[in-house]
């Protein structure tokens, strides 16, 4: 089964090769992203394997289908970058990885929170320059503060539980609340504006959909408790970046930690250190001392990568053998 892997990084190659030992998969590793322009390079492949910033619009999918590609295997959970209706119409099977270590993503959200609040990123740089001053490094105790979790799915629930472990009061908002879990964990569901108004820490754990696009925008930022910390490890476009920059400039927000960014495509995952950054909003965000950005690395643990590769290989194998795809992974 020839599989063209787009946007391949060394860790993808390592884990996919390990998961496919003794399986009938022939990898064609490509380092560039899949777009309508690069789709012809899947020529001869039965399947393509793609990630979060590949662009699977209708035209791209048409090119893949015309070349005989049968399967689009996403090596991620979110699928906002795929025109699923077009894929269905073209008889392309689209699969994703429905579950992989949610601990990887949840723990990264908490790592960002602790780093930002206790200013570890600034302390690390200072100490390496033999600057042992503590001025400006004051944080606050998480114990006794209130966290607001937006979205109590697999990842949001783990973040909530970790923060309960710190002795935080945890509020949550989700249109499909999990009340038994909340009662067990001592967590309270509230409406969205109460969540914004009462939380010292707000963390987003929802998918990007037309309904959630810019769910954090100027009107919501006006409701947020002054000095609150906002964490987003979900999808960049959940936040209106320009409104976020305004809220940071006025000092309304205490800090922002992002693992995802609205315009991350073509920037995150790349080494641009020798180039001029063209994105003025990202450049502005990077000037704030209370903004911490990682480049979409929340999934990057050994366990999560092994889960992702295992599901991806199992789905390619299912196509080859005509057997069932991994439960919950099929989108078309």
- By CB under 6 A, residue 105 contacts ligand NAD: yes
Does 142 contact ligand NAD by CB under 6 A? no
187 contributes a contact to ligand NAD by CB under 6 A: no
Asked if 173 interacts with ligand NAD (CB under 6 A), we say: yes
- Cβ nearer to ligand NAD, comparing 39 with 187: 187
Place of tokens 């320009």: 242
| 77 scored as a contact of ligand NAD (CB under 6 A) | yes
Alpha-carbon dihedral angle through residues 256, 257, 259, 261, given to the nearest 10 degrees: 10
What is the gyration radius of the CA atoms in the chain, in angstroms?
21
The catalytically annotated residue of 235, 263, 265, 284 is 235
Number of H helices, E strands in the chain: 12, 12
SS3 call for 171: strand
DSSP run (H or E) holding 13: helix 10-19
203 is an interface residue for ligand NAD by CB under 6 A = no
Supply the DSSP symbol for 224.
S
Of positions 12, 174, 200, 262, contacts ligand NAD by CB under 6 A: 174
Return the closest-CA partner of residue 50 out of 32, 24, 68.
Answer: 32
Determine if 210 is a binding residue for ligand NAD (CB under 6 A). Answer: no
- Give yes or no for residue 81 binding ligand NAD (CB under 6 A): no
Catalytic residue among 31, 264, 265, 303: 264
Q: Which stretch binds ligand NAD (CB under 6 A): 130-138, 146-154, 223-231, 247-255?
A: 146-154
C-beta separation of 259 from 232 below 8 A: yes
Closest to ligand NAD by CB, 151 vs 255, is: 151
311 contributes a contact to ligand NAD by CB under 6 A: no
Rounded-to-integer distance, Cα 122 and Cα 134, Å: 10
> Which of 16, 319 has the CB closer to ligand NAD?
16
Token pair belonging to 263: 């315009």
Q: Is 176 in the site for ligand NAD (CB under 6 A)?
A: yes
Please confirm, yes or no, whether 235 is among the known catalytic residues.
yes
Residues 82 and 44: beta-carbon distance below 8 Å:
no
What is the rounded distance in angstroms from the CA atom of residue 314 to the CA atom of residue 164?
Answer: 36
Q: Is 296 a catalytic residue?
A: yes
In Å, what is the CA distance from 129 to each residue of 117, 118, 126? 21, 19, 5
Q: Which of 8, 38, 234, 317 binds ligand NAD (CB under 6 A)?
A: 234
Under the binding rule (CB under 6 A), the answer on residue 255 touching ligand NAD is no
Please confirm, yes or no, whether 264 is among the known catalytic residues: yes
Site residues (vs ligand NAD, CB under 6 A): 77-78, 102, 105, 150-156, 173-176, 205-208, 211-212, 233-235, 259-260, 296, 298-299
Catalytic residues: 235, 264, 296
């Amino acid at each position: 089964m020839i599989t063209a892997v787009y946007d391949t990084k060394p860790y993808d190659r390592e884990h996919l090769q390990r998961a496919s030992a003794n399986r009938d998969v022939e990898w064609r590793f490509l380092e560039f992203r899949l777009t309508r322009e690069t789709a012809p390079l899947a020529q001869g492949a039965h399947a393509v394997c793609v990630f979060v910033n590949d662009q699977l619009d209708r035209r791209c999918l048409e090119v893949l289908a015309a070349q005989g590609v049968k399967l689009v295997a996403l090596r991620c959970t979110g699928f906002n970058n795929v025109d699923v209706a077009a894929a269905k119409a073209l008889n392309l099977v689209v699969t994703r990885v429905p579950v992989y270590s949610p601990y990887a993503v949840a723990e990264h959200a908490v790592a960002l929170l602790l780093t930002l609040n206790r200013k570890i990123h600034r302390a690390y740089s200072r100490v390496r320059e033999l600057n042992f001053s503590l001025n400006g490094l004051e944080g606050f105790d998480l114990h006794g503060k209130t966290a607001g979790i937006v979205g109590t799915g697999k990842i949001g629930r783990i973040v909530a539980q970790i923060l309960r472990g710190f002795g935080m009061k945890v509020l949550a908002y989700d249109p499909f609340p999990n009340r038994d879990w909340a009662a067990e964990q001592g967590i309270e569901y509230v409406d969205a504006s109460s969540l914004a108004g009462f939380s010292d820490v707000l963390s987003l754990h929802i998918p990007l959909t037309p309904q959630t696009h810019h769910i954090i925008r100027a009107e919501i930022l006006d409701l947020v408790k002054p000095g609150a910390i906002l964490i987003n490890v979900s999808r960049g476009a959940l936040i209106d970046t320009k409104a976020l920059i305004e809220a940071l400039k006025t000092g309304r927000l205490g800090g922002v930690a992002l693992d995802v960014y609205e315009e991350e495509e073509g920037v995150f995952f790349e080494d641009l250190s020798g180039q001029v950054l063209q994105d003025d909003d990202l450049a502005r965000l990077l000037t704030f001392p209370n903004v911490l950005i990682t480049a979409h690395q929340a999934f990057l643990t050994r366990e999560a990568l092994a889960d992702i590769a295992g599901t991806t290989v199992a789905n390619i194998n299912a196509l080859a053998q005509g057997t069932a795809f991994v439960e919950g992974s099929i989108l078309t």
